[in-house]
Chain A
Amino acid sequence: MSSAIITRRALLKTAAFGAAGASLGLGSLRSARAADLVVGIVYVGARDDFGWNQAHAVAIKALKEVPGVKVSEEENVPETDAVSKSMESMINLDGASLILATSFGYYKPFVLDLAKKYPKVEFRHAAPLWNKATDPMNAGSYFGYLNQAHYVDGVAAGLSTKSNKIGFVAAKPIAIVLSNINSVLLGARSVNPNATVQVIFTGDWSMPVREAEATNALVDAGCDVITCHVDGPKVVIQTAEKRGAKTCGHNANQGPLAPKGFITGAEYKWETIYKGYAADIKSGKPLPNFLAGGFDADYVRNSPFGAGCSPEGQKAALAAIEGLKKGKPIYVGPLKDNKTGKIVIDKTYANDDPFLNNMDYLLQGVVGSTT
């Protein structure tokens, strides 16, 4: 019995070595003709989800236009070993030398393990997680401060609302989401001191039925502008449009979904980063390990204004964008939380201050609770 297992194991080993040899041979063949840079990108959802994945897919489409760059795309890859196998498959079968892993849960342990296994391949992950002290040098992070664009949404919404109530459909009460909610409030309050933001958490990233329910509940509660932070904002935007409420988008351009009520939306502009990587690799420069920025670095943008935006709102929003480009701070302290009234932001923080990454509170002016 045990000898049979050993034989099988030995067989597997030999097979593995033989094939490794074969693939080495193939590898050299490939590099001989590989003048092209192959970029592999994995998405956690569908490329046309009107949200997070679409924002990346739009940028990849722009990257494809760059001569000498080939793209290998795979969608609906879950945050399990499936992603590590997909990335490995891109490296082994497609010859990818840069891997873009776009979902939060891909990083630990999958990207980290593969980066160690394939030291010649560059891995970049779309969340600020890379740690210089512990993580491999061929891995890295890129991220956009989308809360800046949400702040601009807040400005435009603050001058487009009549009820002074903005509704926010949020997935989970985690730091990135909380920062977006708080930024909408601060943006709205910067132009309309009476504005409030009412938030409902659905509990998960993609819960279309609950998102629709939450949208309806917010409209019923008197909110006349609805925005959100969920994976695919399509349901929220369409439901709000049907109810006659105005909307601000998230992640990608949802303008076409709401011809009557769309104000503007917070969008990533990943193509700035992707084209930068491709240019660096081509010119032989080392890739940056950590990229993060907002309007200042051209990593985020706002969707084109829709019919729902008031002229004053447009003007104020454009002015806000100019301010953010110059680094005007969003979190101007002291600011209190909405639960205990304690001061949670003691002073004014720069927009990229790491202090803001650990946000676990909603500011006074937000109606809703993180628990």
Chain B
Amino acid sequence: MSDAPVAQSFPGAAAPAAPMAVSSSRWRSDAEFVVIPILAIVASFLLFAVFLLAIGKSPVDFMALVWRGGFGTSFSIQNTLQRSSPLIMTALAVAIPARIGLIIIGGEGALVLGGFVAAVVAIPMTGVVPPMPALLVMAFAAMLTGGIWIGICGFLRYARGVNETIASLLLTYIGIAIMNFFVEGALRDLSDPNKPSTKPIGRDYMVGSIPGTSVHWGFLFGVLLCLGLYLLMSRTTFGFAARVTGGNFRAALAQGLPVGRLIVACCAIAGACAGLAGFFEVAAIQGRANASLAAGYGFTGILVAFLARQNPLMIPPVAIMFGGIVAAGGLIQRRMGLPDATVQVLEGLIFVVLLTSETLYGRFSIFKPKGR
């Protein structure tokens, strides 16, 4: 559908046969981005099969269980989708800054703080404000908190040259510590002496499931967010400016682009995505804020974002694949008597093989547009 502007850049695009040829060659070069990752995933499963054979387990059983536990029954699919929903949002928290050339790995901190703030602002509202506006306020507060949190990393990067990767990682630990400080102190629900938590927000104030399923609304919002952010990054001047900055920082400055604001904005969007994930963890799952919020979704999200090649549209399928593997992980443990770490070995293999496969781009003539 976007052939027109591309076609114009080719000489002779006006000739009647040319648009067809261009679209097919574009299709060819796009196919590279689908075929290589799929081959990489197949390759990592083959490597994993060797690993399984080495420890005397059947790879066929393993695959059958991954299918059954992750995708094979209606329960499994819902399990998979539910597990993928925080990953979609935390992956966005990596993918958006990546577009402007930053590696942010602190989504976990933004998630935890976002969830914490959502639970805190809910406390005075329970019983006073009706659920719908209360949930909106909670979601907004969570996104704002996450946005500020990662926004700080962007600001430090631009204004003080602080490495954003390290800053965001370290801020994660500070974020978790801040939550623990309040949850174990001033904001602790004293009715529960053994698990420090904030006061519960109450059943009425919780986000329900998508009708007909047991998957909470976070999944749908995550997918919509991916679509929206894809459009923002690829179809608006803001996105274009961000990508130019990511491509060449100095050139962007020379062009007079507001680089500082773009960096902070991308980081803030990223933090808001992770904060929203935190909101759903509190409002759809936990019902209160406590140490369980730091469940590592922020870190798995990094993996998902890299596997999706930082493309928001690719994040949902990759997150669902991951959700499926994790969902099946339990069944694999139980049926095959394998330790939990087995699934982590598989995840690690997929990650390494996919990153290695990056070097393959542009090496196969079959993907090259014809006549170039």
* Chain A residues within CB distance 8 Å of chain B: 9, 12-13, 15-20, 22-23, 46-47, 72-82, 85-86, 88-90, 92-94, 104-105, 108-109, 127, 172, 174-176, 203-204, 357-360
Contacts and interface: CB of A to CB of B under 8 A. Distances in A.
A79 B292 contact: yes
Interface string B56-76: 000000000000110001111
Given A16-B78, A17-B212, A88-B79, 11 more contacts: A9-B211, A13-B212, A19-B75, A23-B73, A23-B75, A74-B330, A89-B76, A105-B195, A174-B196, A175-B194, A359-B193
A109 B287 contact: yes
Interface string B65-94: 000110001111111001100000000000
B102 to A, nearest CB: 28
Interface string B205-219: 000001111000000
A72 B194 contact: no
A110 to B, nearest CB: 9
B291 A204 contact: yes
Contacts of A79: 292, 295
**What are the 10 A-B residue pairs with the smallest beta carbon separation, nearest first?**
A19-B74, A13-B212, A76-B340, A79-B292, A175-B193, A72-B334, A86-B330, A85-B79, A81-B285, A74-B330
Chain B contact residues: over half helix, strand or loop, or mixed? helix
A240 B327 CA distance: 40
B165 interface: no
B25 interface: no
Nearest to A176: B194
B75 A73 contact: no
B333 interface: yes
9 contacts: A9-B210, A9-B211, A13-B212, A72-B334, A80-B285, A82-B83, A127-B194, A174-B196, A359-B193
A46 B74 CA distance: 29
Given A89-B79, A104-B194, A105-B195, A77 B330 contact: yes
Contacts of A75: 333, 339-340
Contacts of A9: 210-212
B69 A109 contact: no
A13 B295 CA distance: 30
Contacts of A360: 193
Nearest to A13: B212
Given A16-B212, A75-B340, A358-B193, A93 B292 contact: no
A18 B83 CA distance: 22
B290 interface: yes
Contacts of A15: 74, 77
Contact of A174 (B83, B194, B292, B296): B194
A174 B292 CA distance: 16
Q: Which of A17, A80, A359 has its CB near the most chain B CB atoms (within 10 A)? A: A80
A206 to B, nearest CB: 11
B281 interface: yes
Interface residues of B, number: 38
B187 to A, nearest CB: 15
Interface in B93-147: none
Contacts of A73: 333-334
B184 interface: yes
A172 B196 contact: yes
A357 B295 CA distance: 28
A360 B192 CA distance: 12
Interface in B305-326: 326
Nearest to A109: B287
B116 to A, nearest CB: 15
Given A79-B292, A172-B184, A89 B330 contact: yes
Nearest to B184: A172
A81 B280 CA distance: 11
Contact of A93 (B195, B296, B331, B333): B331
Given A80-B286, A358-B193, A85 B82 contact: yes
B127 to A, nearest CB: 18
A93 B295 contact: no
B180 interface: yes
Nearest to A89: B330
B340 A46 contact: yes
B193 A357 contact: yes
A85 B83 contact: yes
Contacts of B82: 81, 85
Nearest to A91: B75
Q: Which of A16, A72, A127, A359 has its CB near the most chain B CB atoms (within 10 A)? A: A16
Nearest to A41: B334
Contacts of A78: 292, 295-296
A94 B334 contact: yes
Given A74-B333, A78-B295, A203 B180 contact: yes
B319 to A, nearest CB: 15
Contact of B75 (A17, A18, A72, A92): A92
Contacts of B326: 82
